[in-house]
Amino acid sequence: MVMAKAQHVVLTPQSRIERFGLEAVPQELRKTKWYEYTIIQMAFSVNAGNFLVPALAVVQGGLSFSAAFLSTILGATLAFIFVSYLSLPGAERGIPSQFAIRSIIGLKGSRFISSPIRTITSLYWFAVQTVGGTLVVQFMLERTFAISLPFYLIAMFLAVIMSGLALVGFDAVKRATKYFLPLLILGQLALLYLLLSHGNDGMGAYGGNAGTWNLPMMGFFASLAFVQYVSGVSSSADVTRYAVNSKQGFWGLFTGNVAGFILTAFFGAYTASLTGGLNPFIATSELSDSGLLTFIILGAAILSMISINLSNAYTGGFSLLNSFPLLGRVKSALIFGTAGILLSLSPALVEEAKQYISLIGAFVIPLSAVIITDFLIIKRKNIAVAEILPSYNKPGFICIGVGILVYFSLPEYLSPGFLTFLVTGGLYVSICRMIKKHQLKAI
């Protein structure tokens, strides 16, 4: 079977809202360079939601700062390698991820399985980031101005703003991160200053707790970081479709993601090791009586949340669009934004983050393993957009089913994310080679 080639649509200069959906972005609009992607990804990284896994490694895993820091960086970096490779179809052909994935797992497989999983993942992280940002704003208003506002009111206000900005499209993401970067850097410097100079003042029960270098627990949280970020393989091409070329898109994403997560892991794990808190923005604010520092940290917290959620809403909208192409990009972005606003009203998404991330991983890891191994090993990084598999890639979904069972059957100390990825990917490659060998014998 064949699939119609992605068509080029010219965006009129007067339009301020991106309308490119599943069609390819014209070559003349692919102007984003590697350092711009690095800035974008670094601006996305240091935020309340991304602090969770490094902080949980200390608070719930009992790891030392160094153990939590290194293990989560290891898991995240491995994920970022795969995320960068799966950005190549976007940079080379100007198409979004879910459209490219059709040639890997099939038209219906992409529309009705891969895209819904990606949409749910994006919705979850959109809500987590909003909840985390809302808690920071609520705390700062009460502490600094003695203003008490309901959680739901702040969360809804922030979610509406972020959904509206994401509707504008990639240009809004690019411009926002560029303008936000100075204050984001200033906020990170303020966090660093307070942690290093006043951290001992707020140690409480966690002060002096060296933690452990428990290897199974380190493996589990490395696995959890891998689970959190490897889902990006099904959305990274959404952003790099505006890249000058594939090399600039690849290295821009990789360097920005790794550098950004190193900062994130440091702040998350170090703050947790000192105070037991999961949110460095809140924990460090309690260490300072300076109104200026409090304002800088509050501003950085809000802007970091907006930055990452622009990405979550932007890529989540494309996933929804791939499931329902007739919606068009604008309507799919509006529907995603509405769902994100409603989901952001539940603080439990942060309180039970470890369980939710693990549950999402049961589906994300096997699916990502098939996508990655098919693209890198079977197709050798070459996707034929004009060709498509039958409705479902049956060997692929058999392996995904096996992977889900493996994930749920493994205990935490065996790092289920890593092992499930290896088992699913290895099984898929083996089956594909057996099928190819059988076909060659039949000729």
Beta strands in 230-348 (DSSP E): none
Q: State the burial class of residue 438 (Cβ atoms within 10 Å of its Cβ: 0-12, 13-18, 19+).
A: exposed
Q: What is d(CA 400, CA 69) in angstroms, rounded to the nearest whole number?
A: 31
pLDDT value at residue 6:
44
Q: Is residue 434 part of a domain?
A: yes
pLDDT in tens, 45-54: 888 778 889 9
Q: Is residue 437 part of a domain?
A: yes
pLDDT band at 172 (very low <50, low <70, confident <90, very high): low
Number of compact structural domains in the chain? 1
Q: Is residue 18 part of a domain?
A: no
Q: Is residue 13 part of a domain?
A: no
Q: What is d(CA 394, CA 268) in angstroms, rounded to the nearest whole number?
A: 41
Q: Is residue 320 part of a domain?
A: yes
Segment 309-329 mean pLDDT: 83
pLDDT value at residue 14:
41
Q: Please give the residue range of the domain that contains residue 328.
A: 32-442
Q: Is residue 5 part of a domain?
A: no
pLDDT value at residue 16:
56
pTM as predicted: 0.83
Q: What is d(CA 339, CA 341) in angstroms, rounded to the nearest whole number?
A: 5
Domain CATH code at residue 366: 1.10.4160.10
Q: Is residue 4 part of a domain?
A: no
393: which strand partners? none
Mean pLDDT for the chain overall: 83
Instruction: Report the SS3 class of residue 69.
Output: helix
Q: Is residue 104 part of a domain?
A: yes
387: which strand partners? 2
Q: What is d(CA 80, CA 86) in angstroms, rounded to the nearest whole number?
A: 10
pLDDT in tens, 347-392: 877 777 778 878 888 999 999 999 999 999 998 888 765 556 668 8
Nearest to 297 by CA among 198, 199, 185, 204: 185
Task: Look at residue 257 and tell me whether its pLDDT is greater than 90.
Answer: yes
